Amino acid sequence: MKLTKMSHACVRLEKDGRTLVIDPGGFSEADAAVGADAILVTHEHADHFDEGRLRAALDADPAAAIWTLKAVADQLAAAFPGRVHTVGHGDAFTAAGFDVQVHGELHAVIHPDIPRITNVGYLVDGGRVFHPGDALTVPDRPVETLMLPVMAPWNKISEVIDYVREVRPQRAYDIHDALLTDLARPIYDRQVGALGGTEHLRLAAGASADV
């Protein structure tokens, strides 16, 4: 499986000539989802869900489809009948040849005064890749490659480190990093890498790796 890191929280997975894109949001490239056979969206926040990017992908390929939670599906279903699928925690489905399981129900706490919204994570091909969205969800099975939300208004580095320790993936790639400055990156590399207990990696936007 080929993993390509797009800007912020968006990733592209390619296998057997087909492409799955997760979270092409407003901080990602305008064409982040174009060429996707299937798109997964974890939640409704603008840095993960951008309607224009999704419309561009679905207009480019009439066979492309979206899997997402109800809050996002309700905004798209009327425009793309039969191509938007609503999923929730515990569901399993196949999209573009990828087997996907849904884990998690709520976004991480940003502040007690801010109501929590729904958020789901996607475990792909039996644990080869896990994208948690904006939550520190721990799947009930081993994870090979964890997409690690490394910096967000709702987390701190100690929580990121403890999350890596709890999931215990073979490797962790940074996502959710658009707000992380270049000055901070070496600090996160050193601390997450030294304390997380697994191989900690970063891909520049547009770079790829085999997983």
Task: Please provide the DSSP assignment of 174-187 as one string.
Answer: EES-TT--TTTHHH
The token duo for 105 is 């129900």
Average pLDDT of the residues in 90-107? 98
- For residue 52, tell me if it sits in a domain: yes
pLDDT in tens, 9-46: 999 999 999 999 999 999 999 999 999 999 999 999 99
How much is the mean pLDDT over the chain? 97
Q: What is the pLDDT of residue 160?
A: 98
For residue 211, tell me if it sits in a domain.
no
Q: What is the pLDDT of residue 131?
A: 98
Asked if 144 contacts 128 with a C-beta cutoff of 8 angstroms, the reply is yes
Residue 151 lies in a domain: yes
- Mapping DSSP to helix (H, G, I), strand (E, B) and coil, where does residue 58 land? helix
Report the pLDDT averaged over residues 163-184: 97
Instruction: Tell me the backbone φ, ψ of residue 15, rounded to 5 degrees.
Output: -160, 130
Assigned domain for 117 exists: yes
SS3 41: strand
Whether the pTM exceeds 0.85: the reply is yes
Domain that holds residue 27: 2-206
- Confirm if 4 and 22 have CB atoms less than 8 A apart: no
Distance CA 57, CA 48 (A): 15
Q: Is residue 186 part of a domain?
A: yes
Question: What is the average pLDDT across 192-208?
Answer: 96
Is residue 48, in this structure, part of any structural domain at all?
yes
Report the pLDDT averaged over residues 181-186: 93
pLDDT band at 102 (very low <50, low <70, confident <90, very high): very high
**Residue 180's domain is classified under what CATH number?**
3.60.15.10
- Residue 108 within any structural domain of the chain: yes
Q: What is the pLDDT of residue 106?
A: 98
Q: Is residue 142 part of a domain?
A: yes
Specify the number of domains making up the chain. Answer: 1
Mean pLDDT over residues 170-179, rounded? Answer: 97
Q: What is the pLDDT of residue 31?
A: 95
